[in-house]
Amino acid sequence: MTSAHENKNEALSPSAQVTITGRNVEVPEHFQERVNGKLAKIEKLDPTLTFFHVELQHEPNPRREAQANRIQITATGKGHLARAEAKEDSFYAALESAIGKMERSLRKVKVRREISMGGHRKPKSTGEIAAELAAEAEQARAQQEQEAAADPYAAQIEDQLPGQVVRTKEHPATPMSVDDALSEMELVGHDFYLFINSETSRPSVVYRRHAYDYGLITLVPEEESGN
């Protein structure tokens, strides 16, 4: 049973522009209202967001019925974007999962920016740190299991041989700091991020390591490499 408080929240709408589209599925009005209510909460985490695009897709594959309904949310702000995607057995579950991923990404970036600007933050209690670490570990484990169970491009390459390049992307090479690159990686929900390091003007990659650390790889001329 849905409470009156939840109904009130679902009736909210973000100030940013919202487009909701469906592929192989129609999006009913009541679900659009639910999406708007969730996005209004996301907007509070980052008031600079100006545009949301939400795409629903039904993938009729009997072998993947538990992940047949996919939602991708792309939020665009001033010079940055955030993206989250989820596949579940229903669009309602997929929406909750995608919104949760985007919330976690935006909160991480918000904390990172606060530390960068202020140089410090109020220390957390041992209990708070332990709870956050446990929650993040469980979320990472669940996401890894989900990604291992399904290939997002399987339906597109059934007639191709394995080991082929099936997708290419190009991005503007805007120089940025390592800290900004880490924030961008969190926002798009990836495990790595390719960028031009503004401090060295060289192609670099930041990536997730084990536990909660990050790594940095930089391309240098062979004569300068220490290997």
Q: Tell me if 204 is assigned to some domain.
A: yes
Residue with tokens 């596949």: 87
User: Across all residues in the chain, what is the average pLDDT?
Assistant: 75
Higher pLDDT: 158 or 67? It is 67
Q: Tell me if 188 is assigned to some domain.
A: yes
Residue 170 above 70 pLDDT? yes
Q: Tell me if 59 is assigned to some domain.
A: yes
* CA–CA distance, 181 with 196 (Å, rounded to integer): 9
Residues 31 and 103 in one domain: yes
The domain in which residue 93 lies consists of 17-117
Higher pLDDT: 223 or 8? It is 223
* CA–CA distance, 224 with 102 (Å, rounded to integer): 40
Domain boundary among 97, 117, 137: 117
* CA–CA distance, 21 with 53 (Å, rounded to integer): 8
Which CATH number covers residue 205? 3.30.505.50
Instruction: Output the pLDDT for position 18.
Output: 93
User: Sign (positive/negative) of CA torsion 98, 103, 105, 106?
Assistant: positive
Residues 21 and 97 in one domain: yes
Q: Show the CA angle centred on residue 177, arms to residues 175 and 196, nearest 5°.
A: 35
**Arithmetic mean of pLDDT, 112-135:** 56
Predicted confidence band of residue 140 (pLDDT cuts 50, 70, 90):
low
Predicted confidence band of residue 134 (pLDDT cuts 50, 70, 90):
low
Residues 113 and 180 in one domain: no
Instruction: Let me know: does 49 contact 32? Beta carbons within 8 Å.
Output: no
**Arithmetic mean of pLDDT, 64-76:** 83
Number of domains in the chain: 2
Q: Tell me if 26 is assigned to some domain.
A: yes
Q: Tell me if 132 is assigned to some domain.
A: no
Instruction: Output the pLDDT for position 105.
Output: 84
Q: Tell me if 226 is assigned to some domain.
A: no
Residue 206 above 50 pLDDT? yes
- Which of 186, 184, 178 lies closest to 218, judged by CA? 178
Residue 118 above 60 pLDDT? no
Residue 2 above 50 pLDDT? no
Residue 101 above 60 pLDDT? yes
Which CATH number covers residue 71? 3.30.160.100
Domain boundary among 98, 117, 136: 117
Residues 180 and 95 in one domain: no
Instruction: Let me know: does 24 contact 49? Beta carbons within 8 Å.
Output: no
Q: Tell me if 134 is assigned to some domain.
A: no
Residues 183 and 92 in one domain: no
User: Six-digit token pair at 38?
Assistant: 């969730």
Instruction: Output the pLDDT for position 9.
Output: 47
Residues 23 and 92 in one domain: yes
Q: Tell me if 145 is assigned to some domain.
A: no
Instruction: Output the pLDDT for position 135.
Output: 58
Residue 155 above 70 pLDDT? no
pLDDT > 90 in the chain, percent: 17
Q: Is the pTM of this model over 0.75?
A: no
Residues 106 and 197 in one domain: no
Residues 98 and 179 in one domain: no
Instruction: Output the pLDDT for position 64.
Output: 65
Domain boundary among 117, 150, 185: 117
